[in-house]
Structures are given as structure tokens and as C-alpha cells.
Amino acid sequence: MAMNEKYEAVIGLEVHAQLLTNSKAFCGCTTKFGNTPNSNVCPVCLGMPGVLPVLNKNLVEFTLKMGLATHCRIAPKSIFARKNYFYPDLPKGYQISQYEEPICQNGYIDVELKDGSTKRIGITRIHMEEDAGKSIHDMDVDTLVDVNRCGVPLMEIVSEPDMRTSHEAYQYLSAIKQIVTYLGICDGNMEEGSLRCDANVSVRRTGEKQFGTKTEVKNMNSFRNVERALEYEINRQIAVIEDGGSVVQETLLWDADKNVAVSMRSKEEAHDYRYFPEPDLVPVLVDQTWIANVKSALPELPAERRNRFVDTFSLPKYDADILTLEKELADYYEEAAAKLAKKDSESYKSISNWVMTDVLRVVNEEHVKVNDFPISPENLAAMVNLIGEGVISGKIAKEVFEEMLKTKEHPRTIVDQKGLVQVSDAGALEKIIDEVLANNSDQREKYRSGKTQLFGFFVGETMKATKGRANPKIVNDILKRKLGE
């Protein structure tokens, strides 16, 4: 660690987000994932001779949302450019992208660090482009090409070199994922490639102003890999410098299986993309009305929502953080909270506990999406209401929860069918307790002689006798009175 303190890393990220538009960036083909290879195609995305691109307005709209959510300056006029290179999955021999004059510039994202402090990471630019197809190399035959992905809209978010640790990069990337999913413009799935991240990394002696030589790290296809790969590369560069060497500017590919970053051959990266303005498209003009409309339609963003959860529901910050991490979960919580009978901090906290522990446990164990969770927010709230009304105990509620998972029934139905209604009738409970005390006279004597820790034993015996249905509060009251006699 001492070695690391002598050095400081400088990290900038380039994040590609696949946008959830229905059709492709420059033609009417569907963007649906998983269709038969080479079926989501038309002359335009196949790059047939004579075709022309037509801009999908939603590509602009989605990128504007991201730009405005990250405090960017929106260019009133931006242009597309051609990025020229040869590859079999690039039918036109160029990718339509933006180079000079991108649509969004000079924004930022505030990310929270481990110590609770906030750091502002600058966004250099966000631009629009089209995806290439997929080359499939690991077949017995030659390389196969699937062009379904050709022309699927992408947004590239380029950060300033503002991050100093792999943790900061991780937090920044998480924040981007959170924002794009909140905006509903990208599903944020790194493993499936709908969110991709390349990093520019260099190190310098702490306190130095000048940047060191940077390398580019690619192929980090999970959040965890990004952190690991950056950690690896930072340490590698420090070791090179410590050994008296100098860092070579190159592109490295992260190998997640071996936990190493491997250098690409320099020949492959010696690209001159010969960018020039795309003559087949006219400039994208964004007026103040459009900006105002997009701005006013922006949903509540993660940071605002977290703060509101703390303020409105009196939740601890920890709860608010977890509940708002994903928009679906926050929506779920909020819908459930709205159905609570008692709108007090106790109920809000109670339902937060259920969501954070029980709902999330099932979500993670069963890999279900929050939106597909078998228990509706209404039913979860109804269950918490039943606890509040004293109809069931918290303990019985666990049983009801499991049953709801299986049957998706309303908790009241389950409680009635299974006879799980809590026994709150003091007279009936007193009778049962009298029996318990009579059957355990030895323990009762010991209690009286001062072994008061036996109180729990009597509660347990009473619960056993009622099959867990006794109202714990009333049981406590009666037992205290009787044992005190």
C-alpha cells in the first residue's frame, strides 16, 4: 500500500450504452435482441449500394435525456461523422458517429465514495452513433457474421480524466447505469453488452500535475471486472515505473479468467479512422423548446429520489440507498408504501425491512426481476397492514410471505384459509397460559426464586400451544402479571 500512496492513478472512462429505441438509428428495423441472426435487416443497415441513412428522432431524444440528466451543454447544432475502418461486421465500411460538434458537452455526475463524501466527475461529451454487427469466431467453420446489431443506436459517454482510484471508476460507472435505467433509455446490462466500458489509465507520482503515459483497457464486461482490471493495470504501471521503465501507450484486453490485461498487437490498433462529416445526413438542430420539453419530462433521478425517500418516509440513508439503487425496486417500494394503512415512519420502516431483506433475498436467490416479483407491492403492503392491525404477528407474517410467493394470493385470503389469524382474545390466552404454568410448575418455582431469564421459555411454550398464533404483546402482558403474582 505504501507503494500505492507514492502514486496516483488518472482514469477516464468511455461508456457505450445501447439505447432502448424500438427501431435502429438510421432505418426502421427492429432492435429486438435474440432474433434469428441476420433477420432484423433491410437494405439500409445491410449497407447495400445506393442506400441512405435517416435519423431516428428517438436516438436524439434519448441522448438529450442523458445530456440533461448529467448537466451537459446541449449543442443547438451538431453533426454526424463517418468513422472509416474495414471489418466484416461493418457493412458500409464506416460507422456513423459524431466526432467534431457532438450533441452534449461539458456535463458532470456526482458520485458518492466509500467515506460518504461526494466527488464530481466531469463528462467531456456524449455523442450518438450506430453499433456494428457481431462477428462469431468460435465456430468450426470460418468466422460468421450476424448483422442484426448493425445500426442499433448507441450513446457514448466520455468522462474527463477525473477518477483517481478503481473504486471511483466503479462508483461512476454504477451512477451511469443508475441514471440510464432511471431514464429508461438503456437496460444497463454489462454482461449482455448493452452497457460497455473502456478505460484510459495512467499513473503519476502523487502531487505531480502532468499526466503519465496512458493505456487503454478494453473488454471489461462486468462492473466487478472494471474494478479488477483497473486495479491490475494501475499496479502494473506502478511496477513498470518503479523498475525504472516507462509505460508504453497501448491497448490492453482484460482477460477475466486469468485476471490479467493482455496487450493487443500494435498493428491492430494502428487505426486512422479518417473521420469526416457524414454527407448523407443533415445537421441535428435542437431548439430551446425541444430541450425544455425533454427537461420537463425527465423522471426523478436517483440522487433526488434517495433524498426524498429519507425526507418523506423518514428512512435511514442506508435504506434509501439500497431501495433507490434500482428504479424498479424504488418503484416497488413506493407503490407498497402508498398502500399502507398507517402512513407513519414505523410502517415505512417496516415495509423497507421487508423489501430490503425478504424481497431482495428472493430476487437475488431466484434471479427474478423486481418487475416480475410474484408478490405485488399492494399485497406486501396488505401483509404489513395485517401486522399493524394485530391480525397476524411478525412471525406468522414470514409464513404468509412464503405462501404469497407460491400462490400470489392476497395475504388476507391466506390468513383465513390457513387459520393463521392471531389469537388476541385475552380470556382465551389466559386459559392457555394457565395450562402452560400448571404443566411447568418446576420452572415457575425457579422463576420465582429469581431465574427471570426463564420468561422466554414461558413465551415459547405459549406460542407452541397456539401454533405461533398468539398475539405476543398480550402473551407478554398476561405472563408478566401471572408470574409476578
| CB 103, CB 67: distance < 8 Å | yes
- Is 284 in a helix, a strand, or coil? strand
Shortest spacing between CB 218 and other proteins, in angstroms: 20
Binding mask 51-70 for other proteins (x = CB under 8 A): xxxxx---------------
Q: Which residues contact 261 (CB under 8 A, 6 or more apart)?
A: 217, 229, 232, 233, 236, 252, 253, 254, 255
Pick from 12, 67, 91, 102 the residue near other proteins by CB under 8 A.
91
Query: Is the Cβ of residue 83 or residue 306 nearer to other proteins in the bound state?
Result: 83
112, three cell numbers: 458518492
Interface stretch with other proteins, choices 41-49, 61-69, 174-182, 358-366 (CB under 8 A)? 41-49
- Cβ atoms of residues 181 and 187 within 8 Å: yes
Start-to-end Cα distance in the chain: 65
Among 3, 48, 298, 341, binds other proteins (CB under 8 A): 48
Q: In what order do the strands lie in the sheet with 94-97?
A: 94-97, 81-84, 276-277
262 scored as a contact of other proteins (CB under 8 A): no
Residues paired with 12 in a beta bridge: 200
CB of 146 to other proteins, least distance (A): 13
Judge residue 427's burial from the number of C-beta atoms within 10 Å of its C-beta, 0-12 exposed, 13-18 middle, 19 or more buried: exposed
Selected binder of other proteins within 4, 30, 37, 47 (CB under 8 A): 47
Q: Are 125 and 102 in contact (CB under 8 A)?
A: yes
Q: How far is the CB of 307 from other proteins (least distance, A)?
A: 43
Binding of other proteins by 270 (CB under 8 A): no
Region 332-361 residues binding other proteins, contact defined as CB under 8 A: none
Rounded least distance, CB 153 to other proteins, Å: 16
Instruction: Assess 266 for contact with other proteins (CB under 8 A).
Output: no
Q: What is the x/- site pattern for other proteins, positions 70-89, by CB under 8 A?
A: ------------x-x-x-x-
Residue 361 burial (CB < 10 Å; 0-12/13-18/19+)?
A: exposed
Distance CA 125, CA 67 (A): 9
Q: How far is the CB of 48 from other proteins (least distance, A)?
A: 6
Taking the least distance from each CB to other proteins, the nearer of 41 and 375 is 41
| Beta bridge partner(s), residue 23 | 30
Q: Is residue 268 near other proteins by the rule CB under 8 A?
A: no
Nearer to other proteins, 280 or 389 (CB): 280
Q: Which of 22, 73, 77, 93 binds other proteins (CB under 8 A)?
A: 93
Q: Which residues bind other proteins (CB under 8 A)?
A: 43, 46-55, 82, 84, 86, 88, 91-94, 143, 145, 272, 274-276, 279-282
